[in-house]
Amino acid sequence: MASQPARTTPDRQRIVSAWRPAVPGVVEVFHARFTAYAYPMHVHDAWTLLIVDTGAVRYDLDRHEHGTPHDTVSLLPPHVPHNGSPVTEEGFRKRVLYLDATYLGDELIGAAVDRPDLRDPLLRRRVGQVHGALARPGEELEAESRLTFIGERLRDHLRGETGRARPADPVLARRLRELLDERVVEGVGLREAAGLVGAHPAHLVRAFSTAYGIAPHQYLTSLRVGRARRLLLEGRPPGEVAVATGFYDQSHLTRHFRKLVGVPPGRYRAAP
């Protein structure tokens, strides 16, 4: 099971939360608020994907100065020295994904050193969304799906290929739907699903979303909520229903049930 966010507050100038989720490719999730703290020169053995929510960060990468304001995504390659410090006295609040060194490929390190700061509103929004999914237990398929689009867009930026069209694939979409229908309770990870149907993960998610107007994780959640409704009407308690329908726990069921049905499971079962 993935570790959950562990929060430490060693002093008022530093607030840190870090964990390792059960999502392929993600080595660590790191959320922090710093005021007076500055990083010395150091390296990581992973790709560093950084967004700043408040304030701004300045840093040196390969002897060149850069900055990350709130509208920018910074991608720092593995094994390349960098530092970091707040631009103002108010400090900054940042969210970081450390991605496995093999996630993007060594051939893209040079391009990342040359262009680490990406002003791309869609990419910035997607990175924020994947952080939200990673912070919620039971949303691994959503996080993995969102992350595969992030990886694809990062590669496009580094290769100078943003904006290229990608074809639809209804046959592939149907194969994934059939797989999700078969594995409602146990679920399936995106990487596993892509291997089973013989497709790249990003192409698989895009094909499904284009064909059905809904992302794979949303489709699977809808099926689980439908099963939960039937079990609740049979009189089974919400905690038991959550386990029986593939949710992480009762609160996971409640969050999605309320979103799709309009009321929590307990009230739904008690309705006349």
Q: In this structure, are 29 and 82 located in the same domain?
A: yes
Q: In this structure, are 36 and 93 located in the same domain?
A: yes
User: For 175-216, what is each residue's pLDDT tens digit?
Assistant: 999 999 999 999 999 999 999 999 999 999 999 999 999 999
Q: What is the pLDDT of residue 160?
A: 86
Q: In this structure, are 30 and 133 located in the same domain?
A: yes
Q: In this structure, are 15 and 145 located in the same domain?
A: yes
Q: In this structure, are 44 and 100 located in the same domain?
A: yes
Domain count, the chain: 3
Q: In this structure, are 173 and 71 located in the same domain?
A: no
Q: In this structure, are 27 and 86 located in the same domain?
A: yes
Work out the pLDDT band at 70, boundaries 50, 70, 90: confident
Q: In this structure, are 42 and 121 located in the same domain?
A: yes
pLDDT at 220 over 60: yes
Q: In this structure, are 18 and 125 located in the same domain?
A: yes
Q: In this structure, are 123 and 232 located in the same domain?
A: no
Domain's final residue, options 158, 180, 197? 158
Q: What is the pLDDT of residue 1?
A: 46
Three-state helix/strand/coil letters over the chain: CCCCCEEEEEECCEEEEEECCCCCCEEEEEEEEECCCCEEEECCCCEEEEEEEEECEEEEECCEEEEECCCCEEEECCCCCEEEEECCCCCEEEEEEEECCCCCCHHHHHHHHHCCEECCHHHHHHHHHHHHHHCCCCCHHHHHHHHHHHHHHHHHHHHCCCCCCCCCCHHHHHHHHHHHHHCCCCCCCHHHHHHHHCCCHHHHHHHHHHHHCCCHHHHHHHHHHHHHHHHHHCCCCHHHHHHHCCCCCHHHHHHHHHHHHCCCHHHHHHCC
User: For 5-41, what is each residue's pLDDT tens digit?
Assistant: 555 445 556 789 999 999 999 999 999 998 888 888 8
Q: In this structure, are 154 and 173 located in the same domain?
A: no
Work out the pLDDT band at 255, boundaries 50, 70, 90: very high
Tell me whether residue 191 is in a domain: yes
Tell me whether residue 3 is in a domain: no
Tell me whether residue 176 is in a domain: yes
**Domain coverage including residue 264:** 219-270
